[in-house]
Amino acid sequence: MILEARNISKSYGSLEVLKNVTIECHKGKIYGLIGANGAGKTTLFRILLGLIKQDCGSIEIDSQGIKPIGGIVEKPALYGYLSAFGNLKVFAQIQGLKLTKELYSQSMQQVGLSTKRTDVVKNYSLGMKQRLGLAIALLNNPECIVLDEPFSGLDPMGIIALHELIKKLSSQKQITIIISSHIVKELTDLCDTLYVLNEGEIIKKGPSAELLNASVTTYKIVGNNLEMSEVLQSINAIFSNKSAFVSPKTMSITEILQKLIEEGQEVTACIPQTDLKALFGGGKI
């Protein structure tokens, strides 16, 4: 185990932000932390990264490196008046690293950034800042990386690129990655294990696919003329723009799809809809 946070609690006055939170992370795996706004995700990450102190509980990181853990909390915070080189130079220097040309090229290439840009970072897009923030987090080769809402504010292409980068870091460099996100789909595709945090407590944990499947109550069926289907009408499907939303009760989704095919309906897609309320334990979304 590379990281173990046990029974972490944190309060601000009478407000209990985290209550006995325990998470365990293994080398080279990707972990997702999901929860509604105010569930305590960022507070937990700040504690893991040592920015704030927990009231009680312990954190153990099994690493002999200079920098056991790195990360980005919320948006990447960089020196806007410096170039990418300047930023990497400052953050390398403060941890005793000399930013050689080789290290600069390697750091930039690792996160898919060009070394040709010499302008100041305030001109960069959010996606580029995320990448540069990640390059800084990766300086001194931490064995664990914490990324708080890394997809927030990124365009679809940016999300795909970051997604691939995170997978590469996990598989090729065996870095343990802990991510929080509101975007359930991103975490499902990316994470091996999910933790669900609700009102400061871990209410669910387990393999991502299992956890999300258990929270699927509705399916979106896409096809032509679905409104005409007697099968869908009989199970009170809700129709909307060439789609039907069904919540199987008397029969399974497999049976519904089979009957639709028998009926001669052309079904082009069947997308499980995660019930976020069920997943988040009824918290505010």
Partner 1 sequence: MISLIRSEIYKIRKQSKTLYALAAILIIEGFVIVSAYYQGTGIIDLLLANLKDSFEFKGNLLNGNLIIYLILNSLWFHIPLILMIIISGFLTSEYKDRTLETVLLQPVSKLNFILSKYIVSIVFTLLIVLLLAVSTFFVSYWIFGRGDLVVYLDGLNFFESDEAFYRLIYAFISGANSMIFFSVVSLTLAVILKDATKTWIVSAIFLICSNLLLKIDFQNEFLNELFFSKLTDSWQYFFYYKIPYSTIYFKNFMLFGYTLITMIIGIIIFKRRDIQL
Q: How many helices (H) and strands (E) does the chain have?
A: 10, 13
Site for partner 1 contains 126 (CB under 8 A): no
Q: How far apart are CA 190 and CA 121, in angstroms?
A: 28
Measured from the CB atom, is 59 or 235 closer to partner 1? Answer: 59
Q: Determine whether 211 is exposed, middle or buried from the number of CB atoms within 10 Å of its CB (0-12, 13-18, 19+).
A: buried
Applying CB under 8 A, among 1, 7, 55, 77 the residue interacting with partner 1 is 77
Sheet of 3-12: strand order equals 15-25, 3-12, 56-61
One of 7, 37, 58, 93 touching partner 1 (CB under 8 A): 93
**Least CB distance from residue 125 to partner 1, whole Å?**
17
- 56 is an interface residue for partner 1 by CB under 8 A: no
Cβ atoms of 212 and 185 within 8 Å: the answer is no
Q: Give dist(CA 125, CA 25) in Å, integer.
A: 32
Judged by CB under 8 A, the residue of 49, 111, 134, 237 near partner 1 is 49
Taking contact as CB under 8 A, which single stretch among the options 64-72, 176-184, 218-226, 255-263 is the one that binds partner 1?
64-72
The secondary element (H helix, E strand) that includes residue 275 is none
Which one of 69-77, 166-174, 213-221, 260-268 is the stretch in contact with partner 1 (CB under 8 A)?
A: 69-77
Chain positions 94 to 113 lying near partner 1, rule: CB under 8 A, are 94-96
# residues near partner 1 by CB under 8 A? 34
136 binds partner 1 (CB under 8 A): yes
Shortest distance in whole angstroms from residue 170 CB to partner 1 = 19
Taking CA atoms, 225 is separated from 233, 237, 261, in Å, by 12, 13, 13
The percent of the chain in helix, strand and coil, each rounded to the nearest 5, is 35, 30, 35
Residues that bind partner 1 (CB under 8 A): 46, 49-53, 66-67, 70-82, 86, 89-91, 93-96, 133, 136-137, 139-140
